[in-house]
Amino acid sequence: MEFERLFLTRESEFFRFSENGKNMGYLLLFDTFSKAPDAFGEQFFEDDFEANENHIIVQYACRSDLTDMHREFVLSFVESLLSFKPSIDYVVDFFYIKQDLEFDYPTNKGFAELVEKINMLFNTNIIINDFQSFNNILQQ
């Protein structure tokens, strides 16, 4: 399986995963810069949850049936990105989508369209003020 980062901002990172030229899914990591709510931990630890310093929302939108190998690849990928963070809470939320995220890459309008689609699909509020910054490592 291959992956490509489509953008990286101060609070979010977005990847597309593919296999043999077919889009398999999309991964969004969103840093809340705050502790996880009690409800987050209760689903795993009942009453014994004590939030770490930072909650990172991790969502994977699957384009097709998720094989065990595909799921393990995504989980391993996320673990490799976040394992060195000292005080975080996260869980990978998998869900299915019907359509690919198509956009007019790499024009400004295309990037704006991509971010708008991601915000709707992942229920986020990613804001990129300068689409010319897509030429940089970090987007703003």
Asked if residue 11 is part of any domain, the answer here is yes
Proportion of the chain in helix, strand, coil states, percent, rounded to 5? 30, 30, 40
- Residue 35 lies in domain: 2-135
Q: How far apart are CA 22 and CA 29, in angstroms?
A: 22
Structural domains in the chain (count): 1
* pTM for the structure as a whole: 0.87
Q: Is the peptide bond before 86 cis (omega within 30 degrees of 0)?
A: no
Q: Which residues of the chain have pLDDT under 70?
A: 42-47, 105-108, 133-140
Which residue has tokens 């869900």? Answer: 95
Q: What is the pLDDT of residues 25-44, one digit of tens each?
A: 999 999 998 888 777 776 66
Asked if residue 140 is part of any domain, the answer here is no
